[in-house]
Structure 1
Amino acid sequence: MTTFALIGAGPGLGLAAARRFGAAGHTVALIARDAEKLDGLTATLARDDVQARGYTADVLDIESLTSALYAAAADLGTVEILQYSPVPRADFMKPVLDTSADDLDAPLSFSVKGPVTAVNAVLPGMRELGRGTLLFVNGSSAVRPNPRVAGTSVAFAAESAYARMLHDALVPENIHVAQLIIPGAIRPDAEHSSPDVLAERLLDIHQLRDGFRHYAEPLPD
């Protein structure tokens, strides 16, 4: 059995994705900063007969993130699918004219160093398997810069570039890299952007392997 590793586990999309990939036959590694929250999520998944385990790590802390992913693979099985979808901090979202160079340090670590660290931790296992999927989940500022949220606009664009380069470089190795853009808020009542619908979409991206960038719904004009 292989593992679905979710970085940025939470009660919305994270829980829905864990449930869906677990139902598809994968063990689930939940990675987040809050150990108590992880305990609650794993208990919820256990009631759905999903084998899951939580690992505490901060994406801004390279050592903790690497250790969590290594431990997950050792405990649960090789990571075949990695989803990188932590929620950005509110202080990443300053207007562009109020953003200093120092204000970009944390967003870039969050959206570039974090993904690079995670990929480097799981890629050897995927290569041994001969297959794998790397899923990056971003908001619309990844493709349409928003001057009201400069930090995430700059950092998500950099994450997108990294993911696109990975996509092109790893195709020959049967490792699929894809990005899902979610333009609006994730809401239980949203037709295209509810947690359950998005989780199904992520599983489809993993299984169909049909291109790099996908949209939960069209970008508003």
Structure 2
Amino acid sequence: MRYGRGPEVLSGLSFALPRGSFHFITGPSGAGKSSLLKLIYLAARPSAGVVRLFGEDTGHVAHRELPRLRRRIGVVFQDLLLLDHLSAFDNAALPLRIAGHRPSEYRGDVAELLAWVGLGKRMGALPPTLAGGEKQRLAIARAVVNRPEILLADEPSGNVDHEMALRIYRLFVELNRLGTTVVIATHDQDMVARANKPVLHLEGGRLAALAPQGPAA
């Protein structure tokens, strides 16, 4: 993968993510972690090679069909991208609203999801009034509200303290237990060390190591 005519930011990668798996993507700044996530959630296409999602070669998928695949992927962005003028409830419900669902169809499910991530009493709050950990959990709720098959998270613990990072990690673990494939790009070596999950380690845009299982938590 390259941006414009610049040098390749990713090259020579070859790996598979089994359905229902949980992987970390690690590596120093500039190693290509965010770029790899962009390829997976179809925000970018590879300059060479093949990316397969759900058994489909994404290079052969028509542009008008990409939203169909993207609806099967949830993303927690590094900068969260919450809408400050919408309540926590409306931020979480936004993917359903965009998909054309009526509030009467999703009101109960969204409220239950927000309660599950610990925001049951903050549903009417605007994002600027939420603490950092609350914003992270709201972003996770929005990413999974439409029950995606794959959940991608870019530095989800980057702006929270250690205790909140553990709470957020446990949410990902629970989602994975429910069947969602989870991929987390992170610098948080403490989170990685506590997990018993495979690690994709990038160095200079290449896959330097695929560590099978880390030490048990």
Q: TM-score, normalised by structure 2?
A: 0.38
Point out the structure with max Rg over C-alpha. Answer: 2
Which is bigger in relative contact order (C-alpha 8 A, separation at least 6)? Answer: 2
Q: TM-score, normalised by structure 1?
A: 0.38
